[in-house]
Amino acid sequence: MIGDYLGQHDEFSVAVMHAYVDSMDFSGMKFHTAIREFLKGFRLPGEAQKIDRIMEKFAECYCADNPGLFKGADTAYVLAYAVILLNTDAHNPMVWPKMSKSDFVRMNATNDPEECAPKLILEEIYDSIVKEEIKMKNKAINMGKSSWKKAETEEKGGIVGILNLALPKLRSQSDTQSESEAIIKQTQEIFRKQGAKRGTFYTSQRIEIIRPMVEAVGWPLLATFSVMMEERENKARVILCMEGFKAGIYITHVLRMDTMRYAFLTSLVR
């Protein structure tokens, strides 16, 4: 409940979350140590946008307490996500194969060395997380072997839920329907203003039209591609899934949907 509240988007909840994070002192802490301390007090919420807000503030605070370590808060933000992903990958028995140290370093590398964390820091983080799990307040951590076996059967496709906690929670049919209707109405209104004709297809460069579509279908498509990739004997299907990953990564990059893009990249690496 605490994590869910801290991730809310209304003005007061955001102010509470900022005050909570600002009350912490990460000075002189190594990055993985700071995240361990940060996540002791609450469980991360299940919605990607809420995690975004919380981890973005953590990154900003960590950089303010440790000036000069990273070029900017964006680098720390991406690295924070990488640490959570690695924690799930390394310690969830449903995730296989495991990410190697070279995979982790490569996944966090960019064309500009100044924009990403130094290799030595990445390797140190990998060793620390693999050796000792970040114990988040999550019931799944305490599941017994029989429960894991049941969950494994239910998750036969091998997709465990990108962060094991960051894929949006399943919503009720009425919630999904109302959200879809809102997206449709918004798109229809934009097309109406453009004088669009019914039954005609249009190409658009406008983010306000494209982004709601991607928000609606992105996560289900990612799950579909990931599950279908498990059927390795069907080469044609694997090639189609690879095209889907490529398109998803490109579109989410253009739209600056960093959470979803990172999820596509991480799932593809696995």
Count the residues in the chain: 270
My answer on whether 138 and 183 are in the same domain is: no
Average pLDDT in the 183-204 region?
Answer: 67
What is the span of the domain harbouring residue 28? 2-154
The pLDDT confidence band at residue 48, using thresholds 50, 70 and 90, is confident
Of 15-19, 100-104, 146-150, 235-239, the poorest mean pLDDT is in 146-150
> Could you read off the pLDDT of 78-122 as tens digits, one per residue?
898 888 888 888 887 777 778 889 888 887 876 667 778 889 999
CA–CA separation, 9 and 63 (whole Å): 23
pTM: 0.56
My answer on whether 200 and 140 are in the same domain is: no
Residues annotated catalytic, as ranges: 47
Average pLDDT in the 122-126 region?
Answer: 95
Residue 1, SS3 per DSSP:
coil
CA–CA separation, 36 and 148 (whole Å): 25
* Total of domains in the chain: 2
Residue 164 belongs to a domain? no
Residue 200 belongs to a domain? yes
CB 234: neighbour CB atoms within 10 A? 12
Q: Domain with 111 in it: what CATH number?
A: 1.10.1000.11
Residues 6+ apart with CB under 8 A from 123: 101, 105
Dihedral of the CA atoms 56, 121, 158, 245 (nearest 10)? 70
My answer on whether 225 and 254 are in the same domain is: yes
